[in-house]
Structure 1
Amino acid sequence: MTHFAPVEPDTATGESADLLTQVKKSLGAVPNMTKGMANSPTLLKSFLALSGAVGSGTLPAAVRERLAISTAQLNGCEYCLSAHTMIGANVAKIDGEELDGARRGESSDAHIAAVLQLSNTIAENAGDVDEADIETALEAGVTEEEIGEVVANLALNVMTNYFNVLARTENEFPVVSL
């Protein structure tokens, strides 16, 4: 049972209504997560702003989806794991083996593997990573710009993971179990 009553777009008022309209316009639908977030317009605005910012970065969508999957697995967020596995497969066109590998912070592509490993190391150590971890990523071709974007993606993914776990958001996606 969800801890936050979903705010339905057709009955929302004020800022929540405007934000949910923005969600529908950009995604074509209003996911349950954003309906729950609409209880706090500040949270929903934060999600939309950060999501837009990371979406305009240099990391391709297929890498961002893998990062979201990896972080959801780390944080125990079945909602995000399910959503990003579906998006990864159907929108970013990531094959099943790569989607499964992302759950473990792995990829057959050395550059993507380095990005995922660094992201997991940052998340697992609250940002306090060894110099060797940074050097390993740089040697694999990860740029400083990409490292910054890894942190931005972590911020976005941790925000959505924590919200969905806390809210017990009802999962409308094909369930991918933790």
Structure 2
Amino acid sequence: MSTFNVPTRDQVNETNQGIFDNLKGALGFVPNIYATYALSNNALSNYLTFANAPTSLKTKEKEVVNLAVSEVNACKYCLSAHTAIGKMNGFSDEQILGLRAGNAPFDSKLDALAKLAKNITENRGRAEDAIVENFLNEGWSNENLIDTIVLVGEKTISNYVHNTTQVPIDFPVAQALETTVA
């Protein structure tokens, strides 16, 4: 059950109404997590600016991070949304489950990225040296490292928003990750 009601367009300020209109035009709907940000007069705009800022990571690479971080943070909303987005970016169901577990055995470079994102999240930013070294040895740059850390922070914000508010999930609900997937 939701702790918070998802605000409608007429319940948010004028700036957020404009953002709702843009989201509806681009996505066909306003995701509940974004509507929840609009409970604040500034958080939705601030978050979208942060989330859509330029990065050295490609869209598919960002989904690797989003899935690993959301699994560690046990955010069902973000896992559901990014499972759908991951599929749109070419990942199979099996690959998505692996990425959520912090593994990508199908691609060594993405595997290093998934392991790093999981490790950073689990250790609250204190990534293990061997994980960082493997990441860099797989061809990632220091810029990619910093951008990955920033993305972990960005995704953690949404994870925390949902984990606190428990607004309804408006994507197909992602299946639970089996403990045997590692």
TM-score under structure 1 length normalisation: 0.90
**1:140 matched to which residue of 2?**
138
- Which 10-residue stretch deviates more, 129-138 or 145-154? 129-138
- Say whether residues 1:124 and 2:122 are aligned partners: yes
Asked if the contact 1:105–1:116 (Cα under 8 Å) also holds between the matched residues in 2, the reply is yes
- The 8 Å contact of residues 78 and 177 in structure 1, kept in 2 or not, is answered as no
Partner of 2:96: 99
Shift of 1:29: 2.1
2:179 aligned partner: none
2:46 corresponds to which residue? 46
Letter in 2 for 1:52: N
Please report how far the alpha carbon of residue 10 of structure 1 lies from its aligned counterpart in structure 2 after TM superposition.
4.9
Instruction: State the distance in 2 between where 1:38 and 1:172 align.
Output: 16
* 1:102 maps to amino acid: L
Identity of aligned residues (%): 27
In structure 1, the residue matched to 2:19 is: 19
2:79 counterpart letter in structure 1:
L
Shift of 1:171: 0.7
Structure 1: gaps (5+ residues): none
Alignment correspondent of 1:5: 5
Equivalent residue for 2:61? 63
Alignment-mate amino acid for residue 81 of structure 2: A
Number of aligned residues: 175
| 2:37 maps to 1:37 | yes
Q: Which residue number corresponds to residue 174 of structure 1?
A: 172
Letter in structure 1 aligned against 2:94: E
Q: Is the 8 A contact 1:19 1:41 kept in 2?
A: no
Distance (Å, rounded) in 1 between the aligned partners of 2:63 and 2:36: 22
**Alpha-carbon offset, residue 49 of structure 1:** 0.9
State the alpha-carbon separation in 1 of the partners of residues 129 and 68 from structure 2.
22
Equivalent-residue separation in structure 1 for 2:114 and 2:93 (angstroms): 17
> For the residues of structure 2 that align with 1:130 and 1:101, how far apart are their CA atoms?
20
Shift of the alpha carbon at 1:47?
1.5
Aligned residues: CA RMSD: 1.7
Cα distance in 1 between the residues matched to 2:60 and 2:133: 24
Counterparts of 2:139 and 2:26, CA distance in 1: 33
Q: How far did 1:69 drift?
A: 1.2
Change (3 A) 1:26 1:163: same
Q: Who is 2:180 aligned against?
A: none
- SS of 1:41 mapped into structure 2: coil
